[in-house]
Structure formats: C-alpha cells, structure tokens
C-alpha cells in the first residue's frame, strides 16, 4: 500500500492510498503517536472516511426509485484506492475517487469524492468534497471515524482520562441496537462544562450518537486534566466510540453528516434522516480538524 506524508517542524502525518485514510499523527517534539495503530486485536482501522453512508442501513440496504441496493456498514470508500492528484510542499495533499462500474452496481450515482488534508502547525484539517457528475440529483452521507490513542503513550488507564465538550449543558445521546440501528434515544450524559470521565462502561452498548447539540469541539484530557487532542467540526451530529468490552486503548471522535437508520425507518434513500442531496453539476463540501495540544 502506498503511503503519503505531510510534515512540518511539529508533526509528521501519514496518509494511506487505500481510503485516503490518515494512518499516523506523530509528534516530532515528544515522539508520541496520537492516532490509533490499527491493531486488529481491537480494530483494524485508523481513521476511515465513511461514504456514501454513515452507520448501518435498515435491512442491510437502501432503495432508489423502487430498486433495492445492498450496502454494508459505513459504505465502500474506505476500502477503495484513491488517486493522489496534488501535493504542495509537504503541507497539503488532495486525493480523488470516482465512480466506476463496480460502484454503480452498489450505488447508482456518478460521483467524485475528493479528500484533502492540510497541515497547519499542530492542526490537521480534513476537507471532503462530493461532486455530482450525474444527470440527476445524488443522495449520500459522509463522516469521519478517527481513532486516537487513549491512554496516550501508554500512560495510565483509559478510565482515568476525560472528555471535555465546548458546552456546559447535559448531553443527550442515542444508542444502537444489535443490528446497528438507532433505537434508544433520550439518554443523558451529565456535563457541567468541566471534565466528563471516560468510564469503562461508557461504550458497553456501542457508539454514543450525539445530535441536535451546540457542540463544535471535543477534547481528550489526561488524568491530570490537561488536554492533549481536540477535534473541531460544524457537523450536525457526531459519534463517540470504542469497542465494547475489549478495553481497547483508543477512543473515536467522529464528525458525521449522516447516521444509521432508526429501527422504525421505512422509505427510499432520499427519506433517510440526514440525507444530503446534490443537484447535477453541483458539489458539497465540509471539513473538520484534529489539533494536537502540547
């Protein structure tokens, strides 16, 4: 697998050709790795881009104009090789994926997906651009799934670490069923604007799905309360996740423009919650950032 690099005086960032996926965020100042190493014992990925769906679909597929199309969780882009189309001075890079005969069988839209990474100081900015190359509107979801070392550098236990949210309100979240569909809504994570413990049972029922909130930044803090990494976004919802029951040494902070179907969902792809529609010749763009805090 080909790898690409961005580098400055502070960080060295690695991106894989497959999925245009971030695979390393290494500090050149303290030698710490901040991104999960994809140890298959826990989870074999680092930071996949989720497209053209986020989460799982009711009945394992979706419907377009009355025709059913199967699709597995989180879509296919994360497993495809992207083409690197532009790199600038080791500080930014652009990848592109276009539809082909195989994708049309699973997703009946002609599209291009561009993923750009920009390194600015301690910050890595990810930008997604979805382009409609078709003669009809296309429907999609997109999201990030970056996983971060927690504990950091093997120091302490994960249960000694904290989340910090840029709100002082309690946080309402949903949970997933055994089928990966949204079923348990209205759960509350107590929050007063300070530190929220990453309890060892926090992810016993899979991801926490947080929507309809005013949160735009989530920070991970060490046992002493000092922050070491933040994720900033303007997405309408986000997920928090770590594999249930594995004591996996990482947590995910996932900005999403879409989510899994509800157990009660019935309808076509255009009826899905958080469906994004692009007219022919138009595009959709969104971004988020990861910032290392020294």
Neighbours of 218 (CB within 10 A): 22
Q: Which pLDDT belongs to residue 44?
A: 98
Instruction: Output the pTM of the full model.
Output: 0.97
Q: Which pLDDT belongs to residue 83?
A: 98
Q: Residue 201 corresponds to which tokens in the numbers above?
A: 């049972």
Give the Å distances, CA to CA, from 128 to 49, 97, 104, 141, 288.
9, 11, 21, 11, 9
Find out whether 131 and 119 touch, Cβ atoms under 8 Å. no
Q: Which pLDDT belongs to residue 212?
A: 80
Q: What is the pLDDT of residues 75-108, one digit of tens each?
A: 999 999 999 999 998 899 999 999 999 999 999 9
Counting every residue, how long is the chain?
294
Measured between alpha carbons, how far is 158 from 163 in angstroms, rounded to an integer?
Answer: 11
Measured between alpha carbons, how far is 39 from 37 in angstroms, rounded to an integer?
Answer: 6
Measured between alpha carbons, how far is 74 from 82 in angstroms, rounded to an integer?
Answer: 17
Which residue is associated with the tokens 């799934």? 145
CB hemisphere CA count around 277 (13 angstroms): 9
Find out whether 287 and 127 touch, Cβ atoms under 8 Å. yes
Q: Which domains does the chain have, with CATH numbers?
A: 3-292 (2.70.98.10)
The candidate with the shortest Cα–Cα distance to 53, out of 172, 178, 181, is 181
Which residue is associated with the tokens 């946080």? 171
The candidate with the shortest Cα–Cα distance to 18, out of 64, 81, 60, 73, is 81
Q: In tens digits, what is the pLDDT along the chain, a chain of 294 residues? A: 899 999 999 999 999 999 999 999 999 999 999 999 999 999 999 999 999 999 999 999 999 999 999 999 999 999 999 999 999 988 999 999 999 999 999 999 999 999 999 999 999 999 999 999 999 999 999 999 999 999 999 999 999 999 999 999 999 999 999 999 999 989 999 998 889 999 989 999 999 999 988 999 999 999 999 999 999 999 999 999 999 989 999 999 999 999 999 999 999 999 999 999 999 999 999 999 999 998
């Amino acid at each position: 697998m080909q790898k690409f690099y961005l580098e400055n005086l502070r960080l060295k960032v690695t991106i894989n050709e497959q999925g245009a996926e971030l695979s390393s965020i290494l500090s050149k100042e303290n030698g710490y790795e901040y991104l999960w190493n994809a140890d298959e014992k826990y989870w074999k990925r680092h930071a996949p881009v989720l497209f053209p769906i986020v989460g799982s679909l009711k009945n394992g597929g979706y419907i377009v104009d009355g025709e059913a199309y199967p699709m597995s969780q989180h879509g296919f882009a994360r497993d495809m090789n992207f083409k690197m189309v532009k790199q600038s001075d080791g500080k930014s890079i652009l990848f592109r994926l276009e539809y082909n005969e195989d994708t049309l069988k699973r997703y009946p839209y002609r599209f291009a997906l561009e993923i750009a990474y920009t390194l600015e100081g301690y910050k890595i900015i990810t930008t997604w651009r979805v382009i409609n190359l078709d003669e009809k509107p296309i429907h999609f979801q997109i999201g990030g799934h970056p996983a971060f070392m927690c504990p950091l550098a093997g120091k302490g236990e994960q249960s000694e670490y904290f989340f910090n949210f840029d709100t002082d309100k309690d946080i309402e979240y949903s949970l997933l069923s055994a089928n990966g569909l949204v079923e348990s809504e209205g759960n509350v994570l107590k929050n007063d604007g300070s530190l929220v413990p990453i309890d060892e049972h926090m992810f016993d029922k899979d991801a926490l799905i947080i929507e309809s909130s005013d949160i735009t930044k989530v920070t991970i803090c060490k046992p002493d309360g000092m922050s070491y990494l933040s994720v900033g976004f303007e997405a309408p919802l986000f997920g928090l996740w770590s594999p249930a029951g594995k004591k996996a040494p990482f947590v995910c902070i996932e900005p999403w423009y879409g989510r899994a179907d509800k157990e009660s969902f019935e309808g076509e792809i255009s009826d899905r919650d958080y469906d994004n529609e692009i007219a022919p010749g138009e595009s959709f763009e969104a971004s988020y950032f990861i910032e290392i805090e020294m």
